[in-house]
A and B are shown apart, each in its own frame.
Chain A
């Protein structure tokens, strides 16, 4: 399988019990991070923004990685995000076609970096969902909703099958057809 940089974690935590609050409310978040440590840190970051609790007066109850249920099925993912540009915060909705949610999230991060020069730490994922084909909004995903899809590969660059066989100079010009 392809190794994904971003893993999806379910993080559960709450404030520490005190005399005023014997059973504080437990909060659960689904996050994307590259590893568990980062996921926990992100959890406290978001929780601090929503509730009066910090890592120092809170406790982590559980952190589990969430794996893709059907990694061989192609799905259309819609991702709602909030990102910080050079001039302010903006919301965005993006669609991706991928087999796994982690793959779609990785696509999103790389696309935001390339198209809008937004680095990973300036992006907050608000919501992700698998969108049924009828509800997709972007033409670039809708053009693949065709059960009889057919297109030629127009520009064939022949690559050596292993990096070892790469040479700087070639004897003849490559044939780019088919």
Chain B
């Protein structure tokens, strides 16, 4: 019934607050609602589980590792690549890209969309002709 557990080594995404959008690792559990959370680019802090969305990725660490061991374990577990290739990770990257477009990029996007729609319509009309003929 449950697949994603809060455990030491679980990678989670911060979904509220100052560190929104960061991938962090649960390093220890304080109590029912809070965890000690760590990431290569931040100080180890406590976070409420309400601010975290658990992912499928886990890494192999002991309770509260040193920063160096944490970074080494994240490399060994290949967290970055696993995240960027997962469908969730890819969606977030696309969202980010779309939000950071400037006007010229949006113009190019519009042209690309028109071109793609044109190609799709061509194929569709070919298939229509085949089916009526």
Given A74-B36, A159-B15; A97-B30 close (CB under 8 Å): yes
Q: Are B5 and A151 in contact (CB under 8 A)?
A: yes
Q: Are B2 and A152 in contact (CB under 8 A)?
A: yes
Which of chain A's residues 68-114 have a Cβ closer than 8 Å to chain B?
72-74, 97-99
Number of interface residues of B (CB under 8 A): 25
Q: What is the CB-to-nearest-CB distance from B51 to chain A, in angstroms, rounded to a whole number? A: 9
Q: Mark B17-30, 1 if CB is under 8 A from A, else 0.
A: 00010000000111
Within 8 Å by CB of B16, from A1, A153, A161, lies A161
B4 contacts the other chain (CB 8 A): yes
Within 8 Å by CB of A152, from B4, B31, B44, B62, lies B4
Q: Are B6 and A157 in contact (CB under 8 A)?
A: no
Q: 7 A-B residue contacts at CB 8 Å?
A: A72-B44, A98-B30, A99-B36, A144-B30, A147-B8, A153-B4, A154-B2
Q: Are B5 and A144 in contact (CB under 8 A)?
A: no
Which of chain A's residues 32-48 have a Cβ closer than 8 Å to chain B?
none
Number of interface residues of A (CB under 8 A): 23
Which residues does chain B contribute within 8 Å of A97, judged by CB atoms? 30-31
Residue from B3, B5, B31 whose CB has the most chain A CB atoms within 10 Å? B31
Q: What is the CB-to-nearest-CB distance from B23 to chain A, in angstroms, rounded to a whole number? A: 15
Closest 4 CB pairs of A and B: A152-B2, A150-B7, A72-B44, A97-B31
Q: Report which A residues bind B (CB closer than 8 A).
A: 1-2, 72-74, 97-99, 141, 144, 147-154, 157, 159, 161-162, 178
Q: What is the CB-to-nearest-CB distance from A7 to chain B, in angstroms, rounded to a whole number? A: 18
Which of chain B's residues 41-71 have a Cβ closer than 8 Å to chain A?
43-46, 49-50, 54, 62-64
Within 8 Å by CB of B29, from A98, A144, A178, lies A144
Within 8 Å by CB of A149, from B7, B45, B62, lies B7
Within 8 Å by CB of A144, from B3, B31, B49, B62, lies B31
Which of chain B's residues 95-117 have a Cβ closer than 8 Å to chain A?
none
Given A99-B30, A147-B62; A2-B46 close (CB under 8 Å): yes
Within 8 Å by CB of B2, from A1, A74, A144, A178, lies A178
CA distance A147 to B61 in the complex (A): 11
Q: Are A157 and B50 in contact (CB under 8 A)?
A: yes
CA distance A141 to B6 in the complex (A): 17
CA distance A73 to B4 in the complex (A): 25
Q: Are B28 and A74 in contact (CB under 8 A)?
A: yes
**Closest A-chain residue to B28, C-beta based?**
A74
Which residues does chain B contribute within 8 Å of A154, judged by CB atoms? 2
Q: Are A149 and B36 in contact (CB under 8 A)?
A: no
Q: What is the CB-to-nearest-CB distance from A71 to chain B, in angstroms, rounded to a whole number? A: 9
Residue from B3, B29, B36, B62 whose CB has the most chain A CB atoms within 10 Å? B29
Q: Are B29 and A149 in contact (CB under 8 A)?
A: yes
**Closest B-chain residue to A149, C-beta based?**
B29
